Structure 1
């Protein structure tokens, strides 16, 4: 099988996949964006994103069905059109960006998100725009950042957190939303040639960790100190983002 052979890559990829699965399965997926920056320490950022996409799709299958009783179809109908437009914009820009630009973009996203969460800065949409337009704007931004770096979580948090949804309902609908987004992203990633044999082979090697991480997250959903889990993870994300920025520069 044609796979990535660098041991440093797997040293970063194994915890990245497990943490992404735990976050997706039990903590609203906020740390799904950790995987690509961490992998990008060992391989180019676009390659890291392409290796992670099939793994995310597998996680989505496991996580979505586990929470299917809590789906809100009206909410999802508001979010998906904007997400599709964001993915298309990301697809068009992906063709025109050098690898170091993507790396810098991912690093900046990681640092900004980690700092915002560590400092407990509350980002809220206080505009008086119609609900459908607000949903479209934030889901469009989510689709765009998700296409480039699987980092669509922060815009969704800005839109959804002020709604004060039940924790389980929030996790359930974010899981299904990103399942739809990630499967849509298979089209541009295939057209861009990112899902080649080497990247798909590497994803297959890491794939068994996907359901393990998701089920760990589901099990930990009501058992772990969520604040401690996130604080440590955000510190790790901050360090990884800074390293990526330095690497890109």
Structure 2
């Protein structure tokens, strides 16, 4: 049983740190390199991971992991409906577009379309986003039930950068502003190098089923781009919500 648990822990760490090698996995998981190596071979044989760029010393997830994950969270049809909308948004902005969904008390990235520009921010699919410090997370949290919002406000707001909102009163006001204008922003609140604008995709009951965002390296985001991208993500989120309502 412990071997199975270790293998699953290693798979999770590959998802977070990819591309990653045996040494780093051994260090962060406090496991012998021989144990990590055996687990990686098992995962590769089963089709869950593959060598990064043909380099057998570093590993990344395969599409199998993503496919199973989508089925597990019921997001396959959401992704299918979202990709054309995301493509339009990427074509207009020429920036990276992210799609995240609520999962428990977090937001999880399930799809990404990358910018054609050389300078970019790449987040791995399956990445958990802090709901109080990321644009996608705040868009989802702002439209969550009151009890969910209060649980986050009273549960302790982790500081990720110097600009993270950690005061419950400030975050409550921020969430009210998001509901009023229709979009959220992140100006380096989670990572100093990321700025983003997001809008919630609301279901028939008014609750968020996802959030769609434009993600930009902080040095490329100017003050005038926030409202411009805000308008675009609101339109994209509304289009996606309409498509989902007909399915």
Query: TM-score, normalized by length of structure 2?
Result: 0.29
Pick the structure with more strand per residue: 2
Pick the structure with more helix per residue: 1
Comparing both chains, which one has the higher relative contact order based on Cα–Cα distances under 8 Å and sequence gaps of 6 or more? 1
